[in-house]
Chains A and B, each alone.
Chain A
């Protein structure tokens, strides 16, 4: 029983990390049709920001700085690199892929290729007893952060004018502009929100894995895309459920089958969902974007 509890909480913690990454990706692609392959680099930027500042600042402030770095970087990327290329999707993909490679390379150039240990604060390094299992505290923190983000995103989408613009823009961006709305502002905002969540994922991911490395964000991004396709573009609830499912299946497969098979299991879920559901509207858009 204690093993099941530990695996479940660890899987949910990993799922929470995927959710933080995938929710931003999902909103960005849903509204803007931008496949942001640089999203993983933003996770890395957040991870290294938190790593550098942990110990010098209270951990909460280090995380806040990671969120801010993610948001600012994302807003700059959208404004400077993505915006001029809205009519050139293939160039846009190349730019985000290039940035997704360049930023981790820059990080590697500065701090080296080796993983750097994260010295998390005492409050996060302990364990909590639950149903006979000793569950690391950071799993609860990750899950709580994901729940807070889920609720905040749902409130943002349901209760604010920008949320309304985002939901409408996911359906028909041209019509939103034809109502007199400058949808580009919403683009920048959504990109910044996605970047902030990537920064948060980087900071908390460092605690979860116990270290940061230059390509950590890129590795996580792959599962972020898997979660987005399973959960649905622009569907926050779907993304949350998909993230939890992928995290749990990975953990249980790694433990009960063989270590490393969890990644394969995540891809198997993706294939299963696609076979059952068919190519949904979102996936078709994604295929058109990359074809």
Chain B
């Protein structure tokens, strides 16, 4: 397993957000982290990256990373595209990408520009003036720039137009051929298309683990765990 979480707990502002989350991420393909709004999906991702104080054990590629600071965890080979995209609005597109360059890694600009040709033509444009879809391209492009061994993508299609969602799905599909993905996503059609394994959270706990096709094929279970009908 590329990533293992064991009894990860997070308390924020006096509330226990994660109450002992344990799951693993496969070394290939896409693992989806699912659940209704507010169950702790984004907090789980932040806990993995050390962006929130947490307890428990987190192992990346066999080595414990739960005592490391965020930049040290990321340098082990984790790319992160956050829920709000984390694009630096006042920096240009080229500067946003350059900032993500890590020492000791090759910088796959060819791949990024092949997947997102617009990022090359808009290199001098301030990232804050891009559309939501274009900003998502910057966020995902940054994760693919380095030799990462895991990419964590949090709600990549949130607020995007259907056409852009399709484009993002295609990019993630291609990315997953190169690097395992941990995908937080509410769009079940996208999850069905991309993910092999799924982990479902409810109230800060893992309540289901297993193949995504099996989960989504069970309408009753899908409704109970995710609060929605079967993915179309």
Q: Pick out which of these stretches binds chain A: B25-33, B94-102, B194-202.
A: B94-102
The reply to whether A178 and B89 form a contact with Cβ atoms under 8 Å apart is no
- Whether a CB of chain A sits under 8 angstroms from the CB of B88 is yes
Of residues 168 through 218 on chain A, the ones whose CB sits less than 8 Å from some CB of chain B are 168, 171-172, 174-183
In the complex, which residues of chain B have a beta carbon less than 8 angstroms from the beta carbon of A177? Answer: 51, 69-71, 74
The reply to whether B74 and A175 form a contact with Cβ atoms under 8 Å apart is no
- Whether a CB of chain A sits under 8 angstroms from the CB of B223 is no
Chain B 80-104 near chain A by CB (<8 Å), digits 1 or 0: 1010001011110001001110100
B95 interface neighbour in A164, A172, A183, Cβ under 8 Å: A164
Q: How far is the CA of A257 from the CA of B31 in the complex (A)?
A: 72
The reply to whether A165 and B71 form a contact with Cβ atoms under 8 Å apart is no
| Minimum Cβ distance to chain B for residue A58 (Å) | 41
In the complex, which residues of chain B have a beta carbon less than 8 angstroms from the beta carbon of A180? Answer: 71, 74-75, 100, 102, 146
- Tally chain B residues at the interface, Cβ within 8 Å: 21
- Whether a CB of chain A sits under 8 angstroms from the CB of B168 is no
The reply to whether A171 and B88 form a contact with Cβ atoms under 8 Å apart is yes
The reply to whether A165 and B99 form a contact with Cβ atoms under 8 Å apart is yes
| Minimum Cβ distance to chain B for residue A210 (Å) | 42
In the complex, which residues of chain A have a beta carbon less than 8 angstroms from the beta carbon of B95? Answer: 164, 167-168
The reply to whether B88 and A168 form a contact with Cβ atoms under 8 Å apart is yes
The reply to whether B98 and A182 form a contact with Cβ atoms under 8 Å apart is no
A176 interface neighbour in B49, B69, B99, B102, Cβ under 8 Å: B99
The reply to whether B90 and A167 form a contact with Cβ atoms under 8 Å apart is yes
In the complex, which residues of chain A have a beta carbon less than 8 angstroms from the beta carbon of B69? Answer: 177, 182
In the complex, which residues of chain B have a beta carbon less than 8 angstroms from the beta carbon of A164? Answer: 91, 95, 98-99
Of residues 76 through 99 on chain A, the ones whose CB sits less than 8 Å from some CB of chain B are none
Q: How far is the CA of A168 from the CA of B99 in the complex (A)?
A: 8
The reply to whether B100 and A179 form a contact with Cβ atoms under 8 Å apart is yes
The reply to whether B99 and A181 form a contact with Cβ atoms under 8 Å apart is yes
Q: How far is the CA of A174 from the CA of B142 in the complex (A)?
A: 15
In the complex, which residues of chain A have a beta carbon less than 8 angstroms from the beta carbon of B98? Answer: 161, 164
| Minimum Cβ distance to chain B for residue A238 (Å) | 13
B88 interface neighbour in A161, A172, A182, A183, Cβ under 8 Å: A172
Q: How far is the CA of A179 from the CA of B146 in the complex (A)?
A: 10
A183 interface neighbour in B71, B75, B89, Cβ under 8 Å: B71
Q: How far is the CA of A183 from the CA of B74 in the complex (A)?
A: 13
The reply to whether A172 and B86 form a contact with Cβ atoms under 8 Å apart is yes
What bracket does the count of chain A residues touching chain B fall in? 10 to 19
The reply to whether B90 and A171 form a contact with Cβ atoms under 8 Å apart is yes
Q: How far is the CA of A182 from the CA of B86 in the complex (A)?
A: 17
A182 interface neighbour in B71, B82, B90, B99, Cβ under 8 Å: B71
| Minimum Cβ distance to chain B for residue A235 (Å) | 10
The reply to whether A179 and B74 form a contact with Cβ atoms under 8 Å apart is yes
The chain A residue with its CB closest to the CB of B51 is: A174
B74 interface neighbour in A161, A165, A168, A178, Cβ under 8 Å: A178
In the complex, which residues of chain A have a beta carbon less than 8 angstroms from the beta carbon of B146? Answer: 180
In the complex, which residues of chain A have a beta carbon less than 8 angstroms from the beta carbon of B89? Answer: 171
| Minimum Cβ distance to chain A for residue B97 (Å) | 10
Chain B 133-158 near chain A by CB (<8 Å), digits 1 or 0: 00000000010001000000000000
Which one of B70, B75, B102 has the highest number of Cβ atoms from chain A below 10 Å of its Cβ?
B70
The reply to whether B71 and A181 form a contact with Cβ atoms under 8 Å apart is yes
The reply to whether B102 and A168 form a contact with Cβ atoms under 8 Å apart is no
Of residues 50 through 92 on chain B, the ones whose CB sits less than 8 Å from some CB of chain A are 51, 69-71, 74-75, 80, 82, 86, 88-91
The reply to whether A179 and B91 form a contact with Cβ atoms under 8 Å apart is no
Q: A172-B86, A172-B88 are in contact. Are A179 and B51 (CB under 8 A)?
A: no
Q: How far is the CA of A291 from the CA of B89 in the complex (A)?
A: 28
Can you give 17 A-B contacts (C-beta < 8 A)? Answer: A161-B98, A164-B95, A164-B98, A164-B99, A167-B90, A167-B91, A168-B88, A168-B91, A171-B91, A175-B82, A177-B71, A178-B51, A178-B80, A180-B74, A180-B102, A180-B146, A181-B71
Using a CB–CB distance below 8 Å, which chain B residues touch chain A? 49, 51, 69-71, 74-75, 80, 82, 86, 88-91, 95, 98-100, 102, 142, 146
Other A-B pairs beyond A171-B88, A178-B49, A178-B51, 17, CB < 8 Å: A161-B98, A164-B95, A164-B99, A167-B90, A168-B88, A168-B95, A168-B99, A171-B90, A176-B99, A177-B51, A177-B69, A178-B70, A179-B74, A180-B71, A180-B75, A180-B102, A181-B99
Nearest 8 pairs of A and B residues by beta carbon: A180-B74, A175-B86, A177-B70, A180-B75, A168-B88, A177-B71, A182-B71, A179-B100
